[in-house]
Protein backbone atom coordinates (compact mmCIF):
# COMPACT_ATOMS: atom_id res chain seq x y z
CA UNK A 1 0.00 0.00 0.00
CA UNK A 2 1.05 3.62 -0.31
CA UNK A 3 0.19 6.94 1.27
CA UNK A 4 -1.49 9.18 -1.29
CA UNK A 5 -2.69 12.06 0.87
CA UNK A 6 -2.27 13.37 4.42
CA UNK A 7 -4.24 16.08 6.17
CA UNK A 8 -2.93 17.78 9.30
CA UNK A 9 -5.62 18.98 11.70
CA UNK A 10 -4.49 21.36 14.48
CA UNK A 11 -0.85 20.72 13.48
CA UNK A 12 -1.06 16.99 14.22
CA UNK A 13 1.34 16.07 11.41
CA UNK A 14 3.83 18.78 12.33
CA UNK A 15 3.75 17.57 15.95
CA UNK A 16 4.61 14.03 14.82
CA UNK A 17 7.45 15.14 12.56
CA UNK A 18 9.05 17.28 15.29
CA UNK A 19 8.35 15.26 18.44
CA UNK A 20 7.81 11.66 17.27
CA UNK A 21 9.53 11.21 13.89
CA UNK A 22 10.37 7.57 14.68
CA UNK A 23 6.68 6.74 15.18
CA UNK A 24 5.76 8.42 11.91
CA UNK A 25 8.42 6.32 10.14
CA UNK A 26 6.90 3.19 11.67
CA UNK A 27 3.46 4.14 10.32
CA UNK A 28 4.92 4.78 6.86
CA UNK A 29 6.78 1.45 6.92
CA UNK A 30 3.70 -0.51 8.04
CA UNK A 31 1.58 0.97 5.23
CA UNK A 32 4.29 0.14 2.65
CA UNK A 33 4.51 -3.42 3.98
CA UNK A 34 0.80 -4.21 3.53
CA UNK A 35 0.33 -6.09 0.25
CA UNK A 36 -3.12 -4.98 -0.92
CA UNK A 37 -3.34 -7.58 -3.69
CA UNK A 38 -3.16 -10.38 -1.12
CA UNK A 39 -6.25 -8.86 0.47
CA UNK A 40 -8.28 -8.85 -2.75
CA UNK A 41 -10.13 -12.04 -1.87
CA UNK A 42 -13.76 -11.05 -1.27
CA UNK A 43 -16.29 -12.11 -3.89
CA UNK A 44 -19.12 -9.58 -3.95
CA UNK A 45 -22.72 -10.69 -3.44
CA UNK A 46 -24.12 -7.19 -3.98
CA UNK A 47 -26.45 -6.72 -6.96
CA UNK A 48 -24.37 -4.04 -8.65
CA UNK A 49 -21.06 -5.93 -8.24
CA UNK A 50 -22.11 -9.57 -8.07
CA UNK A 51 -19.14 -11.90 -8.61
CA UNK A 52 -16.56 -9.07 -8.61
CA UNK A 53 -13.39 -9.67 -6.61
CA UNK A 54 -13.06 -6.94 -3.97
CA UNK A 55 -10.54 -5.89 -1.35
CA UNK A 56 -11.44 -7.45 2.00
CA UNK A 57 -11.49 -5.00 4.95
CA UNK A 58 -11.16 -7.96 7.35
CA UNK A 59 -8.03 -9.21 5.60
CA UNK A 60 -6.51 -5.73 5.38
CA UNK A 61 -7.21 -5.06 9.07
CA UNK A 62 -5.65 -8.38 9.99
CA UNK A 63 -2.51 -7.54 7.99
CA UNK A 64 -2.25 -4.04 9.49
CA UNK A 65 -2.69 -5.46 13.00
CA UNK A 66 0.06 -8.03 12.43
CA UNK A 67 2.51 -5.44 11.05
CA UNK A 68 1.79 -2.86 13.77
CA UNK A 69 2.25 -5.45 16.51
CA UNK A 70 5.81 -5.96 15.26
CA UNK A 71 6.47 -2.35 16.35
CA UNK A 72 4.62 -2.88 19.67
CA UNK A 73 1.54 -0.81 18.89
CA UNK A 74 -1.15 -2.06 21.29
CA UNK A 75 -4.85 -1.71 21.99
CA UNK A 76 -5.80 0.72 24.75
CA UNK A 77 -9.00 0.94 26.76
CA UNK A 78 -10.13 3.68 29.15
CA UNK A 79 -12.93 2.95 31.62
CA UNK A 80 -15.21 5.62 33.08
CA UNK A 81 -18.63 6.00 34.70
CA UNK A 82 -21.66 7.87 33.37
CA UNK A 83 -25.08 8.85 34.68
CA UNK A 84 -28.18 10.72 33.53
CA UNK A 85 -27.40 13.89 35.52
CA UNK A 86 -25.62 16.48 33.31
CA UNK A 87 -24.15 18.50 36.20
CA UNK A 88 -22.81 15.35 37.82
CA UNK A 89 -21.19 14.26 34.55
CA UNK A 90 -19.49 17.67 34.25
CA UNK A 91 -18.30 17.40 37.85
CA UNK A 92 -16.90 13.85 37.54
CA UNK A 93 -15.57 14.04 33.97
CA UNK A 94 -11.90 14.51 34.92
CA UNK A 95 -11.93 12.31 38.03
CA UNK A 96 -10.31 8.85 38.14
CA UNK A 97 -12.86 6.06 37.41
CA UNK A 98 -13.19 4.77 40.98
CA UNK A 99 -13.78 8.32 42.30
CA UNK A 100 -16.31 8.97 39.51
CA UNK A 101 -18.34 5.96 40.62
CA UNK A 102 -18.22 6.95 44.30
CA UNK A 103 -19.23 10.53 43.55
CA UNK A 104 -22.16 9.53 41.31
CA UNK A 105 -23.49 7.01 43.81
CA UNK A 106 -23.03 9.41 46.75
CA UNK A 107 -25.47 11.74 44.97
CA UNK A 108 -28.07 8.96 44.80
CA UNK A 109 -27.63 8.37 41.05
CA UNK A 110 -26.91 5.12 39.24
CA UNK A 111 -23.31 4.85 37.98
CA UNK A 112 -23.13 3.15 34.57
CA UNK A 113 -19.80 1.68 33.52
CA UNK A 114 -18.58 2.68 30.07
CA UNK A 115 -15.31 2.77 28.13
CA UNK A 116 -13.46 4.10 25.09
CA UNK A 117 -11.22 1.75 23.19
CA UNK A 118 -8.73 2.50 20.47
CA UNK A 119 -7.09 -0.17 18.32
CA UNK A 120 -3.50 1.00 18.52
CA UNK A 121 -1.63 3.30 20.91
CA UNK A 122 2.08 3.88 21.33
CA UNK A 123 3.99 6.67 23.11
CA UNK A 124 0.89 8.89 23.40
CA UNK A 125 -0.14 8.48 19.76
CA UNK A 126 -3.42 6.72 18.88
CA UNK A 127 -3.92 5.05 15.51
CA UNK A 128 -7.15 3.80 13.92
CA UNK A 129 -7.44 1.98 10.59
CA UNK A 130 -10.96 2.55 9.35
CA UNK A 131 -11.97 0.30 6.49
CA UNK A 132 -15.55 -0.26 7.64
CA UNK A 133 -18.80 1.72 7.41
CA UNK A 134 -18.55 5.51 7.24
CA UNK A 135 -20.34 6.01 10.59
CA UNK A 136 -17.35 4.57 12.46
CA UNK A 137 -15.02 7.33 11.23
CA UNK A 138 -17.09 10.09 12.87
CA UNK A 139 -16.99 8.11 16.11
CA UNK A 140 -13.20 7.75 15.86
CA UNK A 141 -12.59 11.44 15.16
CA UNK A 142 -15.21 13.10 17.33
CA UNK A 143 -15.35 10.65 20.25
CA UNK A 144 -12.42 8.20 20.51
CA UNK A 145 -9.43 10.41 19.64
CA UNK A 146 -11.01 13.39 21.41
CA UNK A 147 -11.71 11.41 24.60
CA UNK A 148 -8.16 10.04 24.74
CA UNK A 149 -6.78 13.55 24.13
CA UNK A 150 -8.95 15.29 26.74
CA UNK A 151 -8.08 12.52 29.19
CA UNK A 152 -4.38 13.29 28.58
CA UNK A 153 -3.63 9.80 27.26
CA UNK A 154 -2.50 10.93 23.79
CA UNK A 155 -1.01 13.99 22.09
CA UNK A 156 -2.22 13.21 18.57
CA UNK A 157 -4.51 10.78 16.74
CA UNK A 158 -3.93 9.13 13.36
CA UNK A 159 -6.80 7.94 11.15
CA UNK A 160 -6.01 5.74 8.12
CA UNK A 161 -8.67 5.66 5.38
CA UNK A 162 -8.91 4.30 1.84
CA UNK A 163 -8.81 6.79 -1.01
CA UNK A 164 -11.92 6.81 -3.20
CA UNK A 165 -9.93 4.86 -5.80
CA UNK A 166 -9.56 1.98 -3.31
CA UNK A 167 -13.01 2.36 -1.74
CA UNK A 168 -14.62 1.80 -5.18
CA UNK A 169 -13.12 -1.69 -5.10
CA UNK A 170 -14.61 -2.52 -1.70
CA UNK A 171 -18.12 -3.21 -0.43
CA UNK A 172 -20.56 -0.30 -0.48
CA UNK A 173 -20.79 2.01 2.55
CA UNK A 174 -17.07 2.11 3.34
CA UNK A 175 -15.75 5.56 4.31
CA UNK A 176 -13.12 7.19 2.10
CA UNK A 177 -10.50 9.91 2.58
CA UNK A 178 -11.95 12.61 0.35
CA UNK A 179 -15.41 12.37 1.94
CA UNK A 180 -14.15 12.39 5.53
CA UNK A 181 -11.75 15.25 4.79
CA UNK A 182 -14.78 17.28 3.69
CA UNK A 183 -16.64 16.33 6.88
CA UNK A 184 -13.77 17.54 9.08
CA UNK A 185 -13.17 20.78 7.19
CA UNK A 186 -16.81 21.81 7.18
CA UNK A 187 -16.87 21.66 11.01
CA UNK A 188 -14.44 24.60 11.18
CA UNK A 189 -10.76 24.83 12.01
CA UNK A 190 -10.98 23.95 15.70
CA UNK A 191 -13.37 20.96 15.55
CA UNK A 192 -12.71 18.30 16.70
CA UNK A 193 -10.47 19.84 19.37
CA UNK A 194 -7.71 17.24 19.03
CA UNK A 195 -4.58 17.24 16.80
CA UNK A 196 -5.06 14.66 14.04
CA UNK A 197 -3.35 13.23 10.99
CA UNK A 198 -5.77 11.81 8.42
CA UNK A 199 -4.09 9.50 5.90
CA UNK A 200 -5.46 8.36 2.56
CA UNK A 201 -4.07 5.06 1.20
CA UNK A 202 -4.40 2.99 -1.96
CA UNK A 203 -2.65 -0.05 -3.49
pTM of the model as a whole: 0.88
Per-position pLDDT tens, the chain of length 203: 999 999 999 999 999 999 999 999 999 999 999 999 999 998 888 777 788 889 999 999 999 999 999 999 999 888 899 999 999 999 998 899 999 999 999 999 999 999 888 889 999 999 999 987 767 888 888 888 998 998 889 999 999 999 999 999 998 889 999 999 999 999 988 999 999 999 999 99
Complete DSSP assignment for 6-40? EEEETTHHHHHHHH-HHHHHHHHHHHHH--GGGG-
Q: Does domain 2-76+118-202 have CATH number 3.10.450.50?
A: no
Whole-angstrom distance, CA of residue 137 vs CA of residue 116? 14
Torsion, Cα of 74, 200, 142, 188 (10° steps):
150
Q: Could you tell me the CA-to-CA distances from 108 to 79, 102, 113, 115 in Å, in that order? A: 21, 10, 16, 22
Three-state DSSP at 130 gives coil
State the Cα–Cα distance between residues 81 and 115, nearest whole angstrom. 8
**Domain boundaries defined on the chain:** 2-76+118-202
Amino acid sequence: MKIVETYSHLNGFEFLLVHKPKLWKEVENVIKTVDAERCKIKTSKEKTMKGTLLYSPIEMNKTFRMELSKFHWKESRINYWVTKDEKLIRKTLTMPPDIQKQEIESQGEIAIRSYNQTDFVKNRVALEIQLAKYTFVAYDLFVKHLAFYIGDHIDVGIEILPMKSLQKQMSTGVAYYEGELYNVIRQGRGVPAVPLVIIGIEP
